[in-house]
């Protein structure tokens, strides 16, 4: 019987098959490290007198704690500074390549890996961060791991893992203008639920997925964890190869040819069987936004906040009631009538150059809604440089947005970029958990297009809701 893409990648990395219920021992091709989940792992190595087995398969960057303003100043928060300094000390002591704040390659770990061409098809990629699923966009197996596993990979370059089940998520048809990768994944999570992917590796397939750019595919794979899945993947194709060719760490010459030949085999066989299958029709999708406190609590922008009394199951009704209380929303409110205080464009989900271009296209020539704070945080220093070379930063600045330096920023508020209690935010990030963006903060997950249109109108909106600009025949965002 044929194998799925995930099974092929798995099989290629088995160092030793587990016996009698033991897990398989899998080789890890790339280990991404950041300051938050690594200090205790390096301590563990020191205590055991161990080194890093493969420094040449390990790379570190500073992202979660780093300030996005005043980056040439010492980090004001003492504990953040200690954590960053600890990473620097650990990397120096063990010999790990590190991209520090101020370096052109610094940025969110999941933006940096692909950008350097280090993430390639058919690899196993791990990081002490659940959004490592992002790397699955290349047809690699990208898995988030805990600190004990970080230490394990540093010491052995392997991980003991039990095989996962596989789920096909097929998105057929063509996305309508204004509907993006983010809307697709929010719709997928609303369909299968935050626990629906547990125990599975998801493979995104179908015409609509094939039509996406690598950055769109990364957005989708990034949020696989939000459906509870351990990883999400897209089979590599010409779009993948084109994205990779010429990147700093992409293979060259004969290695490139050998790599591409191998990468072409990385697709699910026609006779392979998935453990579960879900089908979505792209032409039925529209911009999607969340109303609640987990990423599965979302509806189309044209919809309304659910009414708890109309929710059937008891446990589910309590969960909706609790979410609405936290979010300060009344059941039945149309999503488009929800006014926000802040718009955040950033995070490993939506902070790449295409995301910034799409948002800037909407904002160009428009005026910011009164009282709304808009923060734009590029995913990496390299993305920021690229945006500045294209003049996109000027669009944001003229609009009245705060143009920041790279980092995780307000996605999780470990640095000073946080929501105040009760502050409501349209955010291109990945989690709307209680307190995620700051204690008491209220998050609505949206696409970059919806974020931008919301910044113009002040209420949750799509570019289609905006008045046409004089002299512009195509509505902004229609081409995104």
Partner 1 sequence: MEKFTVHRGVGVPLRRTDVDTDQIIPAVYLKRVTKTGFEDALFAAWRGDPSFVLNQEPYRAGSVLVAGKDFGTGSSREHAVWALRDHGFKAVLAPRFGDIFRGNSGKQGLLAAVVEQGDIDLIWKALEAHPGTEVTVDLVERVVRVDDFTAPFEVDDYVRWRLMEGLDDISLTLRHADAITDFEAHRPSFKPTTLPARAAS
DSSP symbol at 465: G
Alpha-carbon gap, residue 324 to 299, rounded angstroms? 14
- CB of 145 or CB of 234, closer to partner 1: 145
Residues 457, 371: contact at Cβ < 8 Å? Answer: no
In whole angstroms, how close is the CB of 334 to partner 1 at the nearest point? 25
- Separation of alpha carbons 74 and 71, rounded Å: 7
Q: In the bound complex, what is the minimum distance in angstroms from residue 285's beta carbon to partner 1?
A: 24
Tokens of 36: 């938050």
**Least distance between partner 1 and beta carbon 227 (Å):** 10
Q: How near is the Cβ of 79 to partner 1 at its closest, in Å?
A: 4
3-class secondary structure, 480 = coil
d(CA 218, CA 413): 22
The minimum distance between CB 2 and partner 1, in angstroms, equals 22
Which one, 38 or 462, has the nearer CB to partner 1?
38
Closest separation in Å from C-beta 142 to partner 1: 12
Q: Which is nearer to partner 1, 14 or 339 (CB)?
A: 14
CB of residue 253 to partner 1, shortest distance in Å: 10
Checking DSSP bridges between strand 97-99 and strand 58-61, what pairing results, if any? parallel
Which C-beta is closer to partner 1: that of 259 or that of 401? 259
Both tokens of residue 235? 């089979």
Q: Cβ of residue 365: shortest distance to partner 1, in angstroms?
A: 31
By DSSP bridging, strand 158-161 and strand 24-27 are antiparallel
Nearer to partner 1, 159 or 187 (CB): 159
- The residue (of 195 and 371) whose beta carbon lies closer to partner 1 is 195
Question: How big is the chain by its Cα radius of gyration, in Å?
Answer: 22
Least distance from partner 1 to the Cβ atom of residue 172, Å: 28
406 vs 414, which CB is nearer to partner 1? 414
> Hey, how many other C-beta atoms are within 10 angstroms of the C-beta on 122?
20
Q: What is the DSSP string of 31-65?
A: EEE-TTTSHHHHHHHHHHT---S-GGGEEEE--SS
Beta carbon nearer to partner 1, 315 or 470:
315
Q: ∠ CA(277), CA(282), CA(287), 5° rounding?
A: 115
The nearer residue to partner 1, 364 or 431, going by C-beta atoms, is 431
Burial of 176 (0-12, 13-18, 19+ CB in 10 A): middle
Please, where are the H alpha helices in 284-391?
Answer: 314-327, 353-363, 381-390
CB of 209 to partner 1, least distance (A): 23
101 and 66 in contact (C-beta within 8 Å)?
yes
Question: What are the b/e assignments for 387-411, b being 16+ CB within 10 Å?
Answer: beeeebbebbeebebebbbbbbbbb
Which tokens belong to 268?
């699910």
DSSP result, 267-290 = S--TT---SEEEEEEGGG---EEE
Question: What pairs with residue 59 in β-bridges?
Answer: 32, 97
The smaller minimum CB distance to partner 1, of residues 226 and 361, is found at 226
Return the half-sphere exposure (C-beta side, CA atoms, 13 A cut-off) of residue 354. 19
Nearer to partner 1, 181 or 414 (CB): 414
CB of 449 to partner 1, least distance (A): 25
């Amino acid at each position: 019987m044929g194998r799925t893409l995930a099974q092929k990648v798995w099989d290629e990395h088995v160092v030793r098959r587990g016996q009698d219920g033991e897990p398989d021992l899998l080789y890890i091709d790339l280990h991404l490290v950041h300051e938050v989940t690594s200090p205790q792992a390096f301590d563990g190595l020191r205590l055991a007198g161990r080194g890093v087995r493969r420094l040449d398969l390990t790379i570190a960057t500073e992202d979660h704690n780093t300030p996005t303003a005043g980056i040439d100043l010492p980090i004001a928060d003492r504990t953040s500074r200690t954590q960053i300094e600890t990473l620097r000390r650990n990397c120096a002591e063990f010999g790990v390549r590190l991209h520090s704040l101020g370096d052109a390659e610094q940025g969110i770990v999941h933006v940096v890996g692909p950008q350097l061409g280090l993430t390639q098809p058919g690899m196993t990629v791990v990081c002490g961060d659940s959004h490592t699923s992002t790397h699955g966009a290349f047809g690699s197996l990208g898995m988030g791991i805990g600190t004990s596993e970080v230490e394990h990979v540093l010491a052995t370059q392997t991980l003991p893992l039990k095989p996962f089940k596989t789920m096909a998520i097929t998105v057929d048809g063509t996305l309508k203008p204004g509907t993006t990768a983010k809307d697709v994944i929010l719709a997928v999570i609303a369909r299968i639920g935050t626990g629906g992917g547990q125990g599975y590796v998801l493979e995104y397939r179908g015409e609509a997925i094939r039509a996406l750019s690598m950055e769109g595919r990364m957005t989708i794979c990034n949020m696989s964890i939000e459906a509870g899945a351990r990883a999400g993947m897209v089979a590599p194709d010409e779009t993948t190869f084109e994205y990779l060719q010429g990147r700093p760490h992409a293979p060259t010459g004969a290695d490139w040819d050998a790599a591409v030949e191998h990468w072409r085999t990385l697709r699910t066989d026609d006779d392979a069987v998935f453990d579960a299958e879900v089908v979505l029709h792209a032409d039925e999708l529209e911009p999607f936004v969340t109303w609640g406190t987990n990423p599965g609590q979302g509806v189309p922008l044209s919809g309304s906040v659910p009414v708890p009394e109309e929710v059937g199951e008891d446990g589910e009704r309590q969960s909706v009631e609790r979410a609405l209380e936290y979010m300060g929303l009344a059941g039945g409110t149309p999503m488009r009538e929800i006014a926000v205080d802040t718009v955040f464009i950033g995070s490993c989900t939506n902070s790449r150059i295409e995301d910034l271009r799409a948002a800037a296209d909407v904002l160009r020539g428009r005026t910011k809604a009164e009282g709304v704070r808009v923060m734009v945080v590029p995913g990496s220093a390299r993305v920021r440089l690229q945006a500045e070379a294209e003049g996109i930063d000027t669009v944001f600045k003229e609009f009245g947005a705060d143009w920041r330096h790279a980092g995780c920023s307000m996605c999780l508020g470990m640095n000073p970029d946080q929501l105040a209690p009760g502050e409501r935010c349209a955010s291109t990030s990945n989690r709307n958990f209680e307190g995620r963006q700051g204690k008491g903060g209220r998050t609505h997950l949206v696409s970059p297009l919806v974020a931008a249109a919301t910044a113009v109108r002040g209420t949750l909106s799509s570019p289609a809701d905006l008045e046409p600009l004089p002299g512009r025949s195509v509505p902004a965002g229609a081409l995104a």
